[in-house]
Structure 1
Amino acid sequence: MDNIQIFKNESFGEVRVAGTSDKPLFCLADVCKILDLQITSTKNRLKPDGVSLIKVIDSLGRTQEAIFVSESNLYKAIMRSDKPQAEPFQDWVCGEVLPSIRKHGIYATDNVIDQILNNPDFGIELLTKLKEERSARIEAEKQVAVLTHVNKTYTCTEVAKELGLKSAIELNNRLKELGVQYKVNQTWVPYTKYATLGWFDIKQEVADNGHIIYHRKITGIGRQGIINLINS
């Protein structure tokens, strides 16, 4: 994939992709537009060796230089966005864009078959490349599966449902039994061990009457930790 390809989606618009099938590069301006991010501040947070300048033709036919970023930097940009479209955009990239990019341009033509039959080394090289690309895709999909939950927070009800428990009350009681948390003035408080592990995101709000209200959610790390703990 030497030339720039344009991937379009009715919900997000379009993303220009350059690079090669094993090292695709994504136009940062397109990504930032979809995720409502600032280009400069986002670029400054990315790994420099995964940032490239590539010449593109703008809507007026002029040649311009645009910033393109690697796949790993793309995930970093997605993680920075707290917009609701971030997760659907990531799903689209991983479910449609990347598989399309990585689809190898090999077809069972007579020419290819003849080369495989007449040159075993060609066949070995071809299959090795296919295996490497498939492995790279699997690893990328695993990374995305992990990143999906990194920046998200969950209610106790959501995690309880995922575990097959009846309610948030049942989950909270289980966490109490397992020594994860205790109750103070009708508020669940994590023990120091789990607070320092970053399992919970606790914010406080001062009500009009001066009372302090605590809002607690489970972080992505906490979600996985709780699932592992209860299922162990």
Structure 2
Amino acid sequence: MNNEIQRFDFKGASLRTLTDEAGEPWFVAKDVCDILGMSNPSMAVTALDKDEVAQIDPKDYLGSENRSNQAVNIVSEPGLYKLIMRSRKPEAHEFQRWVTHEVLPQIRRTGGYIPTTDADDDMTILAKAVMIGQRTMEQQKRKIAEQQTRIVELEPKARFADAVAASDGTCLVGELAKMLRQNGMDIGQNRLFRLLQADGYLGKSGSNRNVPTQRAMDLGLFRIKETTVTHADGHTTVSRTPKVTGKGQRYFIDRYWGRAQPSLEAGA
């Protein structure tokens, strides 16, 4: 939780909120219940689901605002709506509209709400706006840093996707292994064949060895290239070679990228 309390004013009644690490607002249950005419906040929150109510240490968050050493209940946005629906107070609908149309949009847009009173002069309002602006900039910096980290993590995969997009149709399993290896995956042709067999995409034995399974064909991951071979004694046989489609290349990179290689027999 962000230990900075934001105080809102609804018709003279105080509503205190905090935000969690994900930027979602939480409301002090006592304040909500006071506004909604509920006399027993502890009893009111028992009707909420476990993920809709939490407790905070008043010494960490409320300071001198709370003289009790008892934990303070706070409710999430869904929990707030449930309490509103249970209220019989005529102002409940007006309170909900105020929260949903004014408070929450401004919190999510600017990182904070700027409550003002008639006693606030322009400099006071400006100071509050600057404080919220600084907090918003810090939040944006954190988001940008997280996005840049994610971009670095995905860059090799993006290069692979570009290679697939530029490729013309199908490729051999060995060629797919080379593309994977060039983009940081420690695997060779023989190991990739065994991995595809182990995962049920290629047959394991007999005449079906390294032939795409029906499941793999139904998914459109392979095509089979058939080549007629004429032997010295005149008889012919048909050689079947699996070729990975463009869809299959994308499918296998999404499935295997970053996966720790299983313990397979030694091979290239």
TM-score, length basis structure 1: 0.43
The structure that has the greater radius of gyration is 2
Higher strand share: 1
